[in-house]
Amino acid sequence: FNAELYRPDNVRLQWTTATEINNDYFTVEKSQNGINFENLKEISGAGNSSVVKNYSTTDSEPFKGINYYRLKQTDFDGTFTYSKIISLNNSYSTISD
């Protein structure tokens, strides 16, 4: 799971899975403080897959300064896991809190 500032006020978030078992969907979450997260986007998973899958989405309204992101993966039965938290410094943003 990684993030990159690819245009002012746009953060590209990308991740790859090697296999998926009962994967219902991913939720990309963002935060200004690394503690309180909000949902950014929900993306359908492949369900069951044994081939490499590439996923990406964009945060078109990043916070000014440090943005924290994490990926939540939810199975069909509702169980979920989180990725590690990643951060990105958006020094170009004109969007305020």
Low pLDDT (below 70) residues in the chain? 93-97
Helices (H) and strands (E) in the chain, counts: 0, 8
Asked if residue 57 lies in contact with residue 41, where contact means CB atoms within 8 angstroms, the answer is yes
Distances (CA, A) of 62 to 26, 35, 56, 79, 81: 19, 16, 16, 28, 24
User: What's this model's pTM, rounded to 2 decimal places?
Assistant: 0.89
pLDDT of residue 15: 97
pLDDT of residue 95: 47
pLDDT of residue 94: 52
Single-letter residue type at 44:
S
How far is Cα of residue 64 from the mean position of the Cα atoms in its chain? 17
